[in-house]
Amino acid sequence: MKLIVKSRSFYLAAIFSLALLSLQILAFWLIMEAYGLSVSFFVATSVFLIIHLGTLVPNAPANIGSYHFFCVMGLMLFGVDKSQAIGFSIVVFTLLTLPLLLIGMIAISQTGLVLRNIPSELAKWKIADNN
């Protein structure tokens, strides 16, 4: 652990991780503004962190349901109407998840793999690593 903390790549990874988190929060807040939720950047950050802490424990595939639950609960903590919060949770989930899903699909298609063949390919790698 001491070697990891002393390495240059550790600090670069920490900086890039914080930058990514900041950009995700900014995107979340901008979607709030576009949706018509006039809340502060602090509220957006708080709701974003509530969602991420709530979905930290593994749950349904792609956090469907739990993401929406924690988004609605977080927004309601700051006085947003439940029906408006539900609509927003669907919109923000779609806008923040769909691009990543599409990028992943494009990346997989570029490898020549088929989704149903990935487990068998991983098993081959595991066998090769054990030898």
Give me the residue spans of the domains in the chain: 16-130
Mean pLDDT of the chain: 89
Q: pLDDT tens, 59-76?
A: 878 788 899 999 999 999
Taking the mean position of all CA atoms in its chain, how far away is CA 96?
7
- Cβ atoms of 46 and 25 within 8 Å: the answer is no
The separation between the first and the last C-alpha atoms of the chain, rounded to the nearest angstrom, is 28
CA-to-CA distance for 35 and 117, rounded, in angstroms? 40
User: How far is it, in rounded angstroms, from Cα 65 to Cα 16?
Assistant: 29
Query: Which whole number is the average pLDDT over 51-56?
Result: 92
Q: How far is CA 122 from the centre of its chain?
A: 24
Other beta carbons within 10 angstroms of residue 89's beta carbon come to 21
Output the pTM of the full model.
Answer: 0.77
- Per residue in 62-114, pLDDT (tens digit) is 788 899 999 999 999 999 999 999 999 999 999 998 998 899 889 888 888 77
